[in-house]
Amino acid sequence: MMSKIIILFAIGLVVNVFGDDYEWSEYKKHFHKRYGYTENNKRRAIFENNLEKIKENNNNYNLGLVSYKLAINKFTDKSPNEISAKYYTGLGNKKLSGKRKRDASYNSFNGFENGIDDSSNVPESIDWRAKGAVTDIKDQGECGSCWSFGATGVIEGQMAIHYGILESLSAQQLIDCVYCSGCDGGNVDDAFDYVMDYGLMTSEDYPYEGVNGECKDSSDKSNRAFIDGYDFVKTNSEEALRSAVGLIGPISVAIQPEAIMNYEKGIFDGACTGNLSHVVLIVGYDKLVADGTSYWIIKNSWGTDWGENGYMRLRMGKNLCGITTEPPNYAKIFNPKRYNNITNKRSTLGSILKEKATLKSDQPITANDLNNIISGTNNIINIGNIYLIMIFSLLHLVVFVAIIGGIIFYVWRRFYPMNYPQGNAIPLQNLNPANLRD
């Protein structure tokens, strides 16, 4: 009997070891991971620990005990401490020490200032993605640049809301040019300070590389976005944050990222631990019809293979993951003349764009739409210019020929004077009308 138990135990141990080997091998193959012997053992241990947590949570999810599901992803062989480190997130130590420093008395948005009434004006739900104010999901990679994507996301939203123009702005320019640690961490308010002074290029003109580089901005401020200021939402108040998101637009916030590293779908309401080391963008809020659970709609910068195609839903009302612990940021736009290239294009098109300059339209103008319209307008202008050039060229030719002809005629008369015949000329005295006959 004892020998049978030992044999069964040995078989189970072998199956378990080979099963773990298979899962770990498939994981490395799928996510293109390669490690040396020592690192491989370390990563495998972390992977197996995270895998157990994922399985336990998902069993509870299937039983209806939790409202979110986890999944194996590119972070599953990373420890929570690594996820919280600047290398994978990127929020620097919050100093509120930019050029336009705030103190405890800064004029924060609390949802009720400037005639704003929460109960009457703040929408019940809002999704700025549906209103054309959110660009596509980005992947920061192994660069602590979440702060730069938080800043660009806020400004992109304001540009779309004010002008109906949605275009990705350069996070890489902020990494290279803002006085901070770049891929080793930074702050959204420092990024706003920079954009106020120097403007921001598009990601097409200054593409993302995910490494610290030399600043490539220039004194030419065309093709850039500017902001006129920025401010903070009242801390420790989800109601104030809800008002800001509903009335202003997408807002950047700092969160604790450790618990969400393996998030896949659902409304996350788990326990969050660690530092406020990651910046994300709140792009809306809503609630479930079934039970009325309210949640935030959050845009992350971990690629589309994380979460709900790069987004997550976070339960509202519990300050989960420290979402309002640090002052959330928003940008201000007052003076459209500072948006050189964009406003010049819009003024050229006049009333064509005026009707589309609000997100109340079902189809706000995107950068591609604007460029297509401008290209068509430029083509018409170019054809007209060709005809004008042809007409002016013809007029120049006529004037030139007339001048040359006049010069030739003058020279010819000068050297070859004309002699008029005198034979049949009428004497002057005979020109008296009385002497003229029929």
Question: DSSP string spanning 130-192?
Answer: TTT------B--SSB-HHHHHHHHHHHHHHHHHHS----B-HHHHHHHSSS-TTB-B-HHHHH
How many angstroms separate the CA atoms of 428 and 425, rounded? 9
User: Is there a catalytic annotation at residue 93?
Assistant: no
Residue bearing tokens 């490494």: 211
Q: pLDDT for 242-298, tens place per residue?
A: 999 999 999 999 999 999 999 999 999 999 988 899 999 999 999 999 899 999 999
Torsional sign, CA 116, 267, 279, 156: negative
User: Is there a catalytic annotation at residue 300?
Assistant: yes
| Confidence label for 406 from pLDDT (cuts 50, 70 and 90) | confident
Tally of CB atoms within 10 A around 31: 14
120 pLDDT above the threshold of 70: no
| Confidence label for 299 from pLDDT (cuts 50, 70 and 90) | very high
pLDDT at 26: 95
How many angstroms separate the CA atoms of 180 and 185, rounded? 7
Tokens of 427: 């004497």
**DSSP 8-state assignment for residue 209:** -
How many angstroms separate the CA atoms of 365 and 355, rounded? 10
Q: pLDDT for 199-258, tens place per residue?
A: 899 999 999 999 999 998 765 555 578 888 898 999 999 999 999 999 999 999 999 999
Average pLDDT for residues 320-346, to the nearest whole number?
A: 66
- SS percent in the chain: helix, strand, coil, step 5: 45, 15, 45
Packing angle of the helix pair 37-62, 2-30 (nearest 10 deg): 100
| Confidence label for 328 from pLDDT (cuts 50, 70 and 90) | confident
pLDDT at 354: 35
User: Is there a catalytic annotation at residue 146?
Assistant: yes
Q: Which of 50, 187, 275, 278 is catalytic?
A: 278
SS3 408: helix
pLDDT at 112: 36
98 pLDDT above the threshold of 80: no
CATH topology for the 80-337 domain: Cathepsin B; Chain A (3.90.70)
Element (H, E) at 162: helix 146-163
426 pLDDT above the threshold of 80: no
Give pTM, 2 decimals: 0.71
Give me the chain's average pLDDT, please.
77
Q: Which of 57, 262, 300, 329 is catalytic?
A: 300
Tokens of 230: 């920025």
pLDDT at 92: 61
Alpha carbon 257 to chain centroid, angstroms: 21
**Helices within 208-287 (DSSP H only):** 238-247
Q: pLDDT for 130-172, tens place per residue?
A: 999 999 999 999 899 999 999 999 999 999 998 888 999 999 9
How many angstroms separate the CA atoms of 189 and 275, rounded? 19
pLDDT at 345: 39
User: At a CB cut-off of 8 Å and minimum separation 6, what does 233 contact?
Assistant: 108, 109, 110, 240, 241, 244, 251, 324, 327, 328, 329, 330
Phi, psi of 359 (to 5 degrees): -80, 5
pLDDT at 409: 74
Tally of CB atoms within 10 A around 308: 15
Phi, psi of 294 (to 5 degrees): -90, 150
Residue bearing tokens 């300059």: 357
pLDDT at 91: 66
pLDDT at 3: 52
Alpha carbon 297 to chain centroid, angstroms: 17
How many angstroms separate the CA atoms of 97 and 140, rounded? 25
How many angstroms separate the CA atoms of 134 and 161, rounded? 10
| Confidence label for 321 from pLDDT (cuts 50, 70 and 90) | very high
Tokens of 12: 């189970």
Task: Answer whether 302's CB lies under 8 Å from 140's CB.
Answer: yes
Q: Which of 146, 180, 183, 272 is catalytic?
A: 146
